[in-house]
């Protein structure tokens, strides 16, 4: 089997490949869950999934991004506990990280 | 913002309404400043890597995944082989693997809608949409318009904001300087609060966090998200067997 020559449109093929890979990621979780019966175990697993995604995304990022980021995220969570507003949490978090980085943390 | 959640609707039919779409636009508008700067940063990186403006805008339009696009700029090259393209697709799938789990977590909601509609709106599915949708669904909301309205707005803004980034170039090439790299992490962290259902329900999250931290130490890239989150789901499925 020979693949067609890429001369001239390699970048477009690369963009198309990225688009296909990304779309498959977007739909495959929904498609797969359509085949998995919602047993009580699966239900509890799904219930734990959103919080697990959030924590699994954030903790290693904090570890990589450093102390200023950790302070900013803590401040944002604190702001959410007091006032349930994502906008306020974002403003508080960005303010804290800007200050912390300005002070060289 | 409304704090009293609607009770779960009795009927199984779930709606798509204009009101929902407007609500989605309002909910997603909070992330727009961060998304704009992110898109501008991507546009600048693409210009520096020698992509044409059309290629840059098309990538934002049809790939539409910020982190994957920035990572792709690290791997971008002037000449392509099929092997390099396969490699780029594999990296893209790894960076976006979290979407598989995000989609799975909302599948019980999506299952009430026609397959073709799901295939269409999932094209616009992003971290921000997932966060908004998860909170809305947890509060009893079932109107898919919230995801569709927010998703369309976010897509248009993302694609448009790529252009000034490409043209202005290096002005904003370092998102770190303005704390923009923290916009999505802040949103993720803030989500803990509305998702909180007591310490017992949070035990799987602890498992997810520890496994993610260890994975991040051992494996480069973004595998920690999917490994950690899956561990949390498995823990959630079996930890509470007595409950």
- A-B CB pairs within 8 A amount to 278
Whether B151 and B20 have beta carbons less than 8 Å apart is answered as no
How confident is the prediction for chain B on average, in pLDDT?
Answer: 87
The pTM of the whole model exceeds 0.95: no
pLDDT at B220 over 60: yes
Q: Which residues on chain B are in Cβ contact (under 8 Å) with A11?
A: 51-52, 55, 80
pLDDT cut 90: percent of chain B above it: 56
pLDDT of residue B4: 44
- The 10s digit of each residue's pLDDT in A14-34 is 999 999 999 999 999 999 999
Whether A21 and A14 have beta carbons less than 8 Å apart is answered as no
The whole-angstrom separation of Cα B110 and Cα B113 is: 6
Q: Which residues on chain A are in Cβ contact (under 8 Å) with B98?
A: 53, 57
The whole-angstrom separation of Cα B235 and Cα B164 is: 45
Looking at the domain assignment, is residue A62 inside a domain? yes
> Min CA distance, A100 vs chain B (Å)?
10
- The 10s digit of each residue's pLDDT in A49-80 is 989 999 998 999 888 888 999 999 999 999 99
Looking at the domain assignment, is residue A3 inside a domain? no
User: Closest to A45 (Cβ–Cβ): which among B51, B188, B236?
Assistant: B236
Looking at the domain assignment, is residue A56 inside a domain? yes
Residue with tokens 């690290």: B74
Looking at the domain assignment, is residue A29 inside a domain? yes
Mean pLDDT, rounded, for B63-77? 89
Looking at the domain assignment, is residue A15 inside a domain? yes
Assign B89 a pLDDT band (cuts: 50, 70, 90): very high
pLDDT of residue B1: 40
Q: Which residues on chain A are in Cβ contact (under 8 Å) with B206?
A: 55
pLDDT at B62 over 90: yes
Looking at the domain assignment, is residue A90 inside a domain? yes
Q: Which two tokens stand for residue B159?
A: 């694609």
Looking at the domain assignment, is residue A44 inside a domain? yes
Looking at the domain assignment, is residue A1 inside a domain? no
Q: Which two tokens stand for residue A66?
A: 């450093």
The set of residues, in sequence order, having a beta carbon less than 8 Å from that of B39 and lying 6+ positions away, is B60, B66, B157, B158, B159, B160, B161, B162, B165
Mean pLDDT, rounded, for B96-108? 92
- The 10s digit of each residue's pLDDT in B142-151 is 999 999 999 9
CB burial string B65-87: b at 16+ within 10 A, e below: bbbbbbbbbeebeeebeeebbee
Domain residues for the domain of A50 are 10-102
The residue ranking higher by pLDDT, A61 or B114, is B114
Chain B interface, mutation test: which of A53, A88, A101, most B Cβ atoms within 10 Å?
A53
Whether B107 and B118 have beta carbons less than 8 Å apart is answered as no
A67 touches B at CB < 8 Å? no
The whole-angstrom separation of Cα B80 and Cα B90 is: 15
- The 10s digit of each residue's pLDDT in B154-174 is 999 999 999 998 998 756 556
Assign B25 a pLDDT band (cuts: 50, 70, 90): very high
> What letter does residue B243 receive in the DSSP assignment?
-
pLDDT at B184 over 60: yes
**Domain total of chain A:** 1
């Amino acid at each position: 089997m020979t693949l067609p020559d890429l001369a001239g449109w390699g970048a477009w093929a690369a963009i198309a490949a990225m688009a296909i890979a990304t779309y498959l990621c977007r739909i495959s979780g929904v498609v797969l869950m359509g085949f998995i019966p919602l047993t009580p175990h699966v239900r509890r697993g799904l219930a734990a999934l959103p919080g697990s995604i959030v924590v699994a995304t954030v903790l290693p990022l904090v570890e990589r991004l450093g102390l200023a980021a950790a302070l900013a995220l803590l401040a944002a969570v604190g702001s959410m506990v007091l006032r349930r507003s994502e906008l306020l949490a974002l403003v508080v978090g960005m303010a804290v990280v800007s200050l912390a980085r300005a002070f060289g943390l | 913002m409304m704090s009293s959640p609607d009770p779960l609707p009795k009927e199984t039919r779930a709606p798509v309404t204009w009101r929902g779409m407007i609500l989605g636009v309002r909910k997603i508008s909070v992330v727009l400043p961060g998304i704009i700067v992110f898109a501008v940063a991507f546009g600048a990186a693409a210009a520096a890597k020698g992509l044409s403006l059309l290629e840059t805008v098309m990538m934002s339009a049809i790939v539409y995944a910020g982190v994957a696009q920035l990572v792709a700029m690290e791997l971008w090259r002037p000449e392509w082989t099929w092997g390099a393209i396969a490699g780029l697709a594999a990296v893209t799938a790894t960076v976006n693997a979290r979407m598989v789990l995000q989609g799975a977590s909302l599948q019980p909601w999506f299952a009430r809608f026609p397959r073709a509609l799901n295939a269409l709106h999932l094209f616009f599915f992003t971290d921000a949409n997932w966060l908004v949708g998860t909170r809305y669904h947890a509060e009893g909301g079932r109107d898919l318009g919230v995801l569709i309205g927010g998703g369309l707005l976010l897509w248009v803004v993302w694609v448009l904001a790529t252009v000034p980034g490409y043209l202005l170039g290096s002005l904003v090439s370092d998102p770190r300087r303005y704390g923009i790299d923290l916009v999505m992490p802040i949103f993720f962290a803030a989500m803990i609060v509305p998702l909180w259902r007591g310490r017992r329900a949070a035990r799987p999250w602890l498992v997810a966090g520890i496994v993610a931290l260890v994975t991040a130490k051992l494996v480069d890239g973004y595998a920690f998200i999917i490994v950690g989150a899956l561990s949390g789901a498995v823990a959630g499925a079996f930890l509470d067997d007595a409950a």
